[in-house]
Structure 1
Amino acid sequence: MKFNTKNGVFHLIGIKNVEKFEDYPVVIPKAVDEFRGRFEMQKDTVRSIVYEPKKGPSHDVGFFYCGALLEDKPTELPDGISYLRLEGHYAYARDTFDVTRMGEFYNNLDNWILQNKLERKDFTEELMFELYYPKEDGTMDLEVYMRIK
């Protein structure tokens, strides 16, 4: 797994979903399929998922957007597709996507941030996001982003 930091602006589009956090493993794949069905993507389109973080044990329902990364702000969007502009300083982890390793991505990135004496922004107020980069062999690389100070 590779780790780094990046200052940047991310232009993302997606369909907003509101679900119980415990249902995310089932509903996110369905939401990804819904987005694909509504938005025509090229073979090399970078997919995205933007998450509201769980703010505590009593926070049962959250929102997320399934969509894609764009190079610039879109001029027009179909109904039901939202635009998100995320800007700031981020730490990220990158490796080959494997759904069984999702917890590992987040744990390793949290540890890397601590080991490098970086500080996360207030995680209850900052969105986290994932970018899925398609590769020639049909697999994808995943980058997980967390906002840092």
Structure 2
Amino acid sequence: MIAKLKKTFRFIGLKGEGAFSDFSTEVPKHAQEFLRRLHEVKAVTGPEIALYEPKRDHAHVNGIYYVGVQVDEPFTNVPDGMIYMELDEDYATMKGTDIGNLHRDLNKWMDDQGYHRKSEAYIVETYHPLEDGVEEVAVYLPIEGA
């Protein structure tokens, strides 16, 4: 089910950058690096999270991403090399296990509803383990004019 909502994400994590074409392999590697350092985060943490700079066009080949975990409260004691950020946007969101289909279905729904993706805001994905090693992903596409 697709929903439109206003949401604030607070997270702590690591910044990465590279070719969009390498995100599918580089982002999980960077996430594992962060998880090895999770013990340094002295806060109540929530699900894993990744933020992605949106690809603007075909000439935009390199992008920025962040991997980390959500935190419940604003965070001030940030370990060396990590970053704390807050995002507060209107999103179109959907959960499932196939990331590609989630993005496709959300983009189609946004088009059908007359919404446009907010190009300067990060795309957010949160990861929620299920049984048998399966992971549910919630995708949040920032929208403008909501």
TM-score between the two structures when normalised by the length of structure 1? 0.85
Q: Which residue of 2 aligns with 1:39?
A: 38
Tell me the CA shift for residue 136 of structure 1: 5.3
The CA distance in 2 between the partners of 1:6 and 1:64, in whole Å, is 22
How much has 1:3 moved relative to structure 2? 0.9
Aligned partner of 1:19: which letter? G
> Which residue in the other structure is 2:87 paired with?
86
**Partner residue, 2:139:** 144
Q: Which residue of 2 aligns with 1:8?
A: 7
User: What is the percent sequence identity of the aligned residues?
Assistant: 30
CA RMSD of aligned residues (A): 2.0
Answer whether contact 1:45 1:133 (CA < 8 A) is retained.
no
TM-score, normalization: structure 2? 0.86
Q: Does 1:61 align with 2:62?
A: yes
Shift of residue 91, structure 1, vs aligned partner = 0.7
Give the Cα–Cα distance (whole angstroms) in 2 for the partners of residues 60 and 118 of structure 1: 25
Q: In the alignment, does 2:20 pair up with 1:21?
A: yes
Point out where structure 1 has 5 or more consecutive residues left out of the alignment. none
What one-letter code is carried by the residue in structure 2 that aligns with 1:11? R
On the 8 A contact 2:10/2:87 being kept in 1, the answer is yes
1:126 aligns with 2:121: yes
